[in-house]
A and B are shown apart, each in its own frame.
Chain A
Amino acid sequence: MAGSTHPTVGVLALQGDFREHIAVLGALGADAVPVKRPEELERVAGLVIPGGESTVMDKLSRMFGMAEPLKAAVASGMPVYGTCAGLIMLADTLLDAIEGQQTLGGFDLVVRRNAFGSQLDSFETDLDIPVLGDPAVHAVFIRAPVVESVGAKATTLASLSDGRVVAVEQDNLLGTSFHPEMTGDTRFHEYFLRKVAAA
């Protein structure tokens, strides 16, 4: 892992598999903490938005005054990594949202929720991600979103064999449709922590 310091990295803990992210980041030497309140966000140098249900994260973040501080953090250049629901939360434009659902935005993307169908269509596969090198990343997609269109500011990091984009980057932002926190492959989290160290 890059850097000899121990950056404090938050994981948005309103709902979802935030404990798994905290465990991975902690094992990589970061001081990983759950973030549910605006004052907790102020203490972190980077943030992971975990997998979970995006409609619930959206509602709770607005209800408890987290949405505006989160938007400000993204705009200020704080490194933020979204997995699955987290990627949805970061997208500028969301398709197949429920009525009234909002995103934080900031990531120049069009993302579609539940792009593969029901749970029966959830799957795991190996994915070549050039920026992480060999071997391929084992990627788990759970009722996952896909990036339908990558804006001018964002870059594609990986696509499925059918061309659908499932990993993206834009300056300090990182997003994956799948869940590296579930497989024990820590390369995405290491990549993210290098952004935190460089920020």
Chain B
Amino acid sequence: MSTDKNEQLGQSSLNGTSRVKRGLAEMLKGGVIMDVVTADQAKIAEDAGAVAVMALERVPADIRSQGGVARMSDPDLIDGIIAAVSIPVMAKARIGHFVEAQVLEALKVDYIDESEVLSPADYVNHIDKWNFSVPFVCGATNLGEALRRITEGAAMIRSKGEAGTGDVSEATKHIRTILGEISALKGKSKDELYVAAKELQAPYDLVREVAEAGKLPVVLFTAGGVATPADAALMMQLGADGVFVGSGIFKSGDPAKRAAAIVKATTFYEDAAIIAEASRGLGEAMVGINVSDIAEPHRLATRGW
């Protein structure tokens, strides 16, 4: 094959571009990303059909109950998980902690989650994600927040929900809010978009791009409180591109079975008969906390701005 020609062309090869970063998230669509805290759990997740795993030290439910400062995981733990599976491995850095992000990039994780589930390291600035070759996913509760994260270089957005609760109501609210605000933009005339950008507190060019495309320029997953196959299907029917499941799997009675069931329901989200079948005999779901029982200052979704 005209190798000479391709030798020349090969010199144009680029890593860490926006297209490559956003592209991996495109490949995860329609899938379930599962929180894991050990290599064994990562294997269980992969075998159950996870499209990727999120390596962390404690699942959000434990962070919530045990308290204390939650930080990036031990590199040994992340290495162990990377070695155990062949699907993409994500890991969490604290909001604004760009050195944790540098460490995770050095460990060659496939995606970094700049996450409100961990204790923020900076209450003013998020990480400048353009400085990295590894892509980032960030949480958002509304469109303005999503667009600010994309402006900082996020290559994937997930609605925040309220992590570690098993209560899906906040995830529902956030995905509905983001998609509702996108719909509202679509109806606006060009001159109205200047005001929309002001109100969203996001750059005008990005607001116009979203208004024209009718969607975010990056993949939008949902997260925070998903615990059952029906929860996952609800997120997909509401318009999410895919689902993160945190404490919902490994805090339940039969993680392997529940994980596989959530995968099935995510693919066949519009087929109630399949969701019903997947929901049978899963054992105990995670116990859960109603978000309304958590005092405002203890809600993780309020971290990040």
Contact = CB atoms under 8 A, between A and B. Distances in A.
A126 B2 CA distance: 13
Contact of A52 (B29, B46, B47, B86): B29
A174 B27 CA distance: 19
Contact of A20 (B9, B26, B105): B26
A96 interface: yes
Given A15-B29, A120-B134, A156 B9 contact: no
Contact of B110 (A119, A130, A160, A162): A119
Interface stretch (B15-23, B162-170, B191-199, B286-294): B15-23
B293 to A, nearest CB: 36
A52 B30 contact: yes
A195 interface: no
Contacts of A143: 24, 27, 88, 110
A162 B85 CA distance: 27
A51 B27 contact: yes
Given A60-B263, A127-B6, A142 B23 contact: yes
B interface residue count range (under 10 / 10 to 19 / 20 to 34 / 35 or more): 35 or more
A76 interface: no
Contacts of B52: 53
Interface in B1-42: 1-3, 5-10, 12-17, 19-20, 23-24, 26-31
A53 B111 contact: no
B30 A15 contact: yes
Given A55-B87, A113-B86, A119-B111, A130 B2 contact: yes
B264 interface: yes
A122 B267 contact: no
A25 interface: no
Contacts, number: 148
A84 B88 CA distance: 15
A124 B13 contact: yes
Nearest to A179: B23
Residue with the highest number of chain A CB atoms closer than 10 Å, among B6, B8, B14, B135: B6
Residue with the highest number of chain A CB atoms closer than 10 Å, among B105, B110, B264: B110
A23 to B, nearest CB: 12
A interface residue count range (under 10 / 10 to 19 / 20 to 34 / 35 or more): 35 or more
Contacts of A121: 15
Given A123-B15, A123-B20, A161 B6 contact: yes
Interface string A6-24: 0000000111111110000
B216 interface: no
B268 interface: yes
A160 B23 contact: no
Nearest to B17: A124
A152 interface: no
Interface string A113-143: 1100111111111111010000010001111
B288 to A, nearest CB: 27
B109 interface: yes
A159 interface: yes
A128 B5 contact: yes
Contacts of A130: 1-2
B73 interface: no
A15 B87 CA distance: 14
Interface in A143-162: 143, 156-162
B10 A125 contact: yes
B51 A15 contact: yes
Contacts of B7: 161
A26 to B, nearest CB: 16
A20 B26 CA distance: 9
20 contacts: A14-B30, A17-B27, A51-B27, A60-B264, A98-B46, A98-B47, A117-B108, A119-B134, A120-B16, A122-B15, A122-B23, A123-B13, A127-B9, A130-B1, A142-B23, A142-B27, A157-B1, A161-B8, A179-B23, A182-B19
